[in-house]
Protein backbone atom coordinates (compact mmCIF):
# COMPACT_ATOMS: atom_id res chain seq x y z
CA UNK A 1 0.00 0.00 0.00
CA UNK A 2 1.38 3.37 -0.92
CA UNK A 3 1.67 6.22 1.54
CA UNK A 4 -0.86 8.22 -0.47
CA UNK A 5 -3.42 5.40 -0.33
CA UNK A 6 -2.86 5.00 3.40
CA UNK A 7 -3.32 8.73 4.01
CA UNK A 8 -6.50 8.78 1.91
CA UNK A 9 -7.92 5.88 3.93
CA UNK A 10 -7.06 7.61 7.20
CA UNK A 11 -8.67 10.87 6.05
CA UNK A 12 -11.77 8.95 4.97
CA UNK A 13 -11.97 7.17 8.33
CA UNK A 14 -11.64 10.42 10.28
CA UNK A 15 -14.29 12.10 8.12
CA UNK A 16 -16.67 9.16 8.59
CA UNK A 17 -16.18 9.29 12.36
CA UNK A 18 -16.88 13.02 12.37
CA UNK A 19 -20.11 12.51 10.38
CA UNK A 20 -21.24 9.73 12.72
CA UNK A 21 -20.44 11.82 15.77
CA UNK A 22 -22.39 14.76 14.35
CA UNK A 23 -25.38 12.52 13.57
CA UNK A 24 -25.44 11.04 17.07
CA UNK A 25 -25.00 14.47 18.64
CA UNK A 26 -27.94 15.78 16.60
CA UNK A 27 -30.06 12.79 17.63
CA UNK A 28 -29.11 13.26 21.29
CA UNK A 29 -30.01 16.96 21.10
CA UNK A 30 -33.37 16.20 19.47
CA UNK A 31 -34.20 13.61 22.11
CA UNK A 32 -33.13 15.95 24.90
CA UNK A 33 -35.44 18.71 23.57
CA UNK A 34 -38.47 16.40 23.13
CA UNK A 35 -40.16 15.99 26.49
CA UNK A 36 -43.63 15.13 25.14
CA UNK A 37 -43.24 11.35 25.40
CA UNK A 38 -43.59 9.33 28.58
CA UNK A 39 -40.05 7.99 28.26
CA UNK A 40 -37.34 9.79 30.18
CA UNK A 41 -34.66 11.66 28.31
CA UNK A 42 -31.98 9.90 30.32
CA UNK A 43 -33.18 6.43 29.27
CA UNK A 44 -33.29 7.40 25.59
CA UNK A 45 -29.84 8.97 25.75
CA UNK A 46 -28.50 5.90 27.53
CA UNK A 47 -29.93 3.68 24.78
CA UNK A 48 -28.37 5.84 22.07
CA UNK A 49 -25.02 5.62 23.83
CA UNK A 50 -25.39 1.84 24.19
CA UNK A 51 -26.16 1.46 20.48
CA UNK A 52 -23.29 3.69 19.45
CA UNK A 53 -20.71 2.32 21.87
CA UNK A 54 -17.63 4.26 22.88
CA UNK A 55 -15.94 6.54 20.39
CA UNK A 56 -12.58 5.16 19.18
CA UNK A 57 -10.73 7.91 21.07
CA UNK A 58 -12.43 6.81 24.29
CA UNK A 59 -11.44 3.19 23.66
CA UNK A 60 -7.83 4.24 23.11
CA UNK A 61 -7.81 6.39 26.27
CA UNK A 62 -9.34 3.55 28.28
CA UNK A 63 -6.76 1.09 26.99
CA UNK A 64 -3.93 3.49 27.82
CA UNK A 65 -5.13 3.71 31.42
CA UNK A 66 -5.02 -0.04 31.99
Expressed in percent and rounded to 5, the helix, strand and coil fractions of the chain are 80, 0, 20
Does some domain include residue 12? no
pLDDT averages per 10-residue partition of the chain, 66 residues: 93 91 83 70 77 71 58
Domain total of the chain = 1
Distance separating alpha carbons of residues 9 and 29, to the nearest angstrom: 30
Output DSSP code: residue 14.
H
Q: Count of alpha carbons within 13 Å of 46, Cβ hemisphere only?
A: 5
Report yes or no: 19 and 9 within 8 Å, Cβ to Cβ. no
The contacts of residue 50 (CB under 8 Å, 6+ apart) are none
Domain containing 25: what range? 21-65
Does some domain include residue 13? no
Does some domain include residue 14? no
* pTM of the model as a whole: 0.51
Whole-number pLDDT of residue 54: 75
Whole-number pLDDT of residue 51: 81
Whole-number pLDDT of residue 10: 94
Whole-number pLDDT of residue 47: 79
Amino acid sequence: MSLQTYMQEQASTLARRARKRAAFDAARDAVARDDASGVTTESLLAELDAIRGPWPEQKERGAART
